[in-house]
Amino acid sequence: MPDRLSRRAFGGLAVALALGGCARRWPKGANGEEQRLNFYNWDTYTGETTLADFQAATGVEVNMSHYANNDELFARLRAGNPGYDVIVPSNEFVTRLQISGMLSPLDHARIPNRANLAPEFVNVAYDPGRRWSMPYTWLALGIGYRKSRVDGVPDSWKWVLDSDRYSGRIGLLAEGDDLIRLGARYLGHSVNAVTPAVMEEVTQLLIRQKRHVKLFHHDEGQDLLAAGEIDLVVEYNGDIAQVIAEDDDLAFVVPREGTLFNSDCLCVPAGAPRPDNAHRFINFLLDAKVGAEITRTIRYPTPNAAALALMPEEYRANPAIFPSGPAMARSEYGRFQSIAHIRAVEEAITRVMAA
Amino acid sequence: MLQRPGAARGVFAATGLPPIVWLLALFLAPLAVIWAYSFGENRTLVDIAITGSWANYARALKPLYLAILLKSLGFAALTTFICFILGLPVALAISFASPRAKLLLLLAVMLPFWTNLLIRTYALMAILRTEGLINSGIGAIWSLVPGLGPFEPLPLINNNFAVVVGLVYVHLPFMVLPLYAALDRLDRSLIEASLDLGAGHLATLFRVVVPLALPGIVSGIIITFIPALGAYLTPDLLGGTNSQMIANVIERQFRSANDWPFGAALSFLLMYMTFAALLLQSLIVRRHAGGAP
C-alpha cells in the first residue's frame, strides 16, 4: 500500500485541522447537504487533479486526510466516526468494519458507474453483492528485487523466507498477518487455512530465517530497495512499479507458490455526516476518465475496466503492475477469521521479533 | 499582616482549580479507563467487557513478554549510563562557563527540542544508513588511500547499536539539564577547599561534587531512564530484527492486534515500574537530605 513516510507525523494534525478547527460556514447543495466532504484515504492515492475536478463538477469541496494502515483507520473509527464521509479500507477490513457496525450500506442506484467495474470485482467473497464497498484498486504481494544483485528471477518465497543465499539483504513486511499468510502459502497451505499447527510451523520458519533478514519494513520497502539498503523485499506490486519507473535495475515477481491479494475499497462509514455527497464522490471516482487520471498517477492495478481501456499500453502490459502466469491462479484474497486468530498472529509475530 | 482567610481561599481556588480539573479530566480519568480495560476482555472487535479478570496480567507475565521487558530495561539502563558518562562533563563545563557562554551552551542543549522527534529520527537515519552521510564520507576518504581495496559500508543502522545511539541522542538533554541545575547550585568554596587541602581533581569530583549533586544525578537518571524504557519510535525506525522493545509490543496491541485489554495490562505493568522508580528516587533524596549536615 502507498508510501507512508510523512503520515505518522502529520496525520493527527491534519485530522484536527480538517475536521475540527474552522468555523467556516458551508453553502447547502441541492441535496440539502453542506457542499463539502471528508475523505480519509491512504497517502499518494489520488490523481493530481481528482479532488479539484470533483469540486469543479459538483461544487463539493473535498478535505482529504491520511492514514498509514488499516489498523489506524479501524482504531480511529472504533470510538465513533469523527466526521468522515468516505474511507478506503482493504478487503479484510471491509469485513471487520462491517461486522462491527461501522459501515453504512451503499445505495447502488446512486452509483451507476459501478457498471464500469471488471466482472471479477462485481461480486466478491468479502462483500457478497457489494453491499458495503466499491473496489478502488487491487494489489498483490510479491518480491521486489534488484536485478544486478540477484541471480535470475527469485520466483519463490523460498528466497526470502527459507534460504541464506541473500543473507543480510532481505526486507520483510512488518505486517504479521500478511507474513504468516505468505509463510503458509510457501508451505503449501491456503492463505485462509492458517490453523494453529500451520501458524506454529510458519513461526518456526520465520524464527529460523530471521538471522538472514536485514529488516522488517512498514510498507516503505520500495524506498529501501531503491536506496540500495536491501536487494530483495516483500512488497505490493504498485509500490514496486512506482520505483521501477525511476530505476530499471529493479523488478517485481509474484512467486510461483502464489500470493495474497488485497483490494482497497471505497466505503461510507456509519454516521457519515454527508452520505449523499459520499455516494456522488464514489460514483465520480468510478468514472472511466477520472479512474484513468488517478491510475496514471498512482500506478496501481485498477478494477475499473472502463478506466483500464483508456490507459496506455505501457501500463496495461506492465508486468510489475499486472503480473501474470500460474502464480496468479494460485493466489487468494485474505479473509477475516476471528478475534482469537488476530491475537494468535500477534503473539506469533512478537515471538519472531523477540527470538 | 494577615489576609482575610476567605480571600486566600478564593485565590487558591482561582489558581488551583484549572490545573486540578485538567489533571482529573484529561489525565487521571483516561488513565482510569485504561486501567479498567486491563481487567477486561474483548467480546467483539469493538466491545470490551470489564470482567475483573487477571488474565491479561497473567499473560503479560509470560516469559515471552518478561524477556522483552527485561531487554527494554537493558536498553534503558545502557542509554542512561552512556547519557550520564557524556552528560556529566557537559553539565560541569556549562556550570563553569562564563554567564554569556552558559546561556549559549544551555540553548544548544535545548535546541533539539525545537524539532519534532520524528524528524530528528529521520535525520539520524539519513546519517546512519548504508548509503548515508557517515558511510559515504568514510568511503570517499577510503578511496583516496591507495591499496585499501573496496570499501565495505559499516552496519550502522537497523541494529541494536543504532537503537542505543538514537536513544542516547534523544535523551541526553534530559540528563544534562538536571545535572547542570544541581551543579550550578553547588557552593564553589567547597571545591576550592577540597583542592586547597590536597585532593586531586578526580578525588574532588567523586568525593565532593558527586555526593553534593546526588539529588540532581538521581533526577537525571530517573527522567532519562523512564522515557527510554518506554521508547517506541526509536527502536521502530532505527532498530533491526532484534530491537523490539516493550512499547512496540504495546503499540501493536492497540493497533494491529486490536487487543486493548492486553495492551492496557502491559502499559500498566510499565506504569507500576515507573512508580517504583519514583518511590526509590524520593527515598534516596530524603535520605540524602536527612544525612546532610
Residue-level pLDDT at A11: 44
| Helix A275-285 with A50-58: angle, nearest 10 deg | 120
Cross-chain Cβ contact A216/B131 below 8 Å: no
For B48-87, write each residue's pLDDT tens digit. 999 999 999 999 999 999 999 999 999 999 999 999 999 9
Domains of chain A, by residue range, sit at: 7-133+267-316, 139-261+324-354
Cross-chain Cβ contact B255/A349 below 8 Å: no
Query: Which domains, ranges and CATH numbers included, belong to chain B?
Result: 67-118+155-291 (1.10.3720.10)
Cross-chain Cβ contact A228/B244 below 8 Å: no
CB A252 within 8 A of CB A323: yes
How far apart CA B65 and CA B87 sit, in angstroms, is 32
Beta-carbon count within 10 A of A146 CB: 18
Give the C-alpha distances (Å, rounded to integers) separating B264 from A8, A135, B16, B261, B269.
22, 35, 31, 5, 9
Among A5, A343, A351, the residue with its CB nearest the CB of B64 is A351
Among B64, B240, B255, the residue with its CB nearest the CB of A215 is B240
Reported confidence tier of residue A4, pLDDT bands at 50, 70, 90: very low
Q: State which H helix or E strand residue A144 sits in.
A: strand A134-146
DSSP E strands: which ranges in B19-177? 40-42, 48-50
How far apart CA A74 and CA A70 sit, in angstroms, is 6
How far apart CA B264 and CA B244 sit, in angstroms, is 18
Q: Which residues of A touch B131 (CB under 8 A)?
A: 227-229
How far apart CA B150 and CA B174 sit, in angstroms, is 41
Q: Which residues of A touch B119 (CB under 8 A)?
A: 9
Mean pLDDT over A340-351 rounds to: 94
| Grid coordinates given for B163 | 537503537
Residue of chain A nearest B67, judged by CA positions: A354
> How large is the C-alpha radius of gyration of chain B?
24
Beta-carbon count within 10 A of A237 CB: 27
Total residues belonging to chain A: 355
Residue-level pLDDT at A21: 47
Q: Which residues of B touch A177 (CB under 8 A)?
A: 256
Give just the sign of the alpha carbon dihedral B269, B272, B278, B281: negative
DSSP-derived letter for residue A124 is: B
DSSP E strands: which ranges in A19-80? 36-42, 61-67
SS3 A222: helix
Share of chain A above pLDDT 90, in %: 82
Q: Report the mean per-residue pLDDT for chain A.
A: 91
How far apart CA B175 and CA A179 sit, in angstroms, is 40
Residue A242 CA from chain centroid, whole number: 14
Total residues belonging to chain B: 293
Q: Regarding predicted confidence, which is higher, A290 or B292?
A: A290
Q: Which residues of A touch B244 (CB under 8 A)?
A: 350, 353-354
Q: State which H helix or E strand residue B58 sits in.
A: helix B55-60
How far apart CA A179 and CA A345 sit, in angstroms, is 10
Q: Which residues of B touch A176 (CB under 8 A)?
A: 252, 256
Distance from CA of A96 to the nearest CA of B (A): 8
How far apart CA A268 and CA A281 sit, in angstroms, is 10
How far apart CA B23 and CA B30 sit, in angstroms, is 10
How far apart CA A192 and CA A94 sit, in angstroms, is 16
For residue B83, count CB atoms less than 10 angstroms from its CB and return exposed for 0-12, middle for 13-18, buried for 19 or more. Answer: buried
DSSP-derived letter for residue B213 is: T
SS3 B223: helix
For B89-122, write each residue's pLDDT tens digit. 999 999 999 999 999 999 999 998 899 999 999 9
Mean pLDDT over A125-141 rounds to: 95
- Sequential DSSP letters for A261-274: EEEEEEBEETT-S-
Give the C-alpha distances (Å, rounded to integers) separating A184 from A80, A90, A187, A194.
35, 21, 5, 7
With a cut of 90, say whether residue A13 has pLDDT above it: no
**Residue given cell 498472529 in the structure block:** A345
With a cut of 80, say whether residue A8 has pLDDT above it: no
For chains A and B, count residue pairs whose Cβ atoms are closer than 8 Å.
85
| Grid coordinates given for B96 | 563553569
**At a CB cut-off of 8 Å and minimum separation 6, what does B87 contact?**
B172, B175, B176, B179, B220
For residue A20, count CB atoms less than 10 angstroms from its CB and return exposed for 0-12, middle for 13-18, buried for 19 or more. Answer: exposed
How much of chain A is helix, strand and coil, in % rounded to 5? 45, 20, 35
Half-sphere exposure at residue A104, Cβ-oriented, CA atoms within 13 angstroms? 16
Residue A216 CA from chain centroid, whole number: 18
Q: What is the CATH number of domain A139-261+324-354?
A: 3.40.190.10
The answer, for A8 touching chain B at a CB cutoff of 8 Å, is yes
How far apart CA A213 and CA A167 sit, in angstroms, is 6
Residue-level pLDDT at A325: 85
Cross-chain Cβ contact B258/A71 below 8 Å: yes
Q: Pick from A150, A113, A81: which is nearest to A306 by CA? A: A113
Mean pLDDT over A250-279 rounds to: 96
How far apart CA B87 and CA B59 sit, in angstroms, is 38
Residue-level pLDDT at B2: 53
Distance from CA of B43 to the nearest CA of A (A): 9
Instruction: Look at strands B48-50 and B40-42 and give their pairing.
Output: antiparallel
Residue-level pLDDT at A6: 38
> How large is the C-alpha radius of gyration of chain A?
20
Q: Which residues of A touch B257 (CB under 8 A)?
A: 342-343, 345-346
**Residue given cell 544486478 in the structure block:** A148
Q: Pick from A108, A239, A258, A226: which is nearest to A173 by CA? A: A239
**At a CB cut-off of 8 Å and minimum separation 6, what does A109 contact?**
none
For A152-168, write each residue's pLDDT tens digit. 999 999 999 999 999 99
Residue of chain A nearest B48, judged by CA positions: A78
Give just the sign of the alpha carbon dihedral B6, B12, B15, B20: negative
Residue of chain A nearest B233, judged by CA positions: A8
In this predicted complex, what is the ipTM? Answer: 0.83
How is domain A7-133+267-316 classified at the architecture level of CATH? 3-Layer(aba) Sandwich (3.40)
Distance from CA of B56 to the nearest CA of A (A): 12
Residue-level pLDDT at A10: 42
SS3 A121: helix
Residue-level pLDDT at A19: 55
Least confident of A22-36, A112-126, A175-189, B207-221: A22-36
Residue ranges in chain B modelled with pLDDT below 50: 1, 292-293
- Topology alike, domains A7-133+267-316 and A139-261+324-354: yes
Q: What pTM, to 2 d.p., does this model score?
A: 0.86
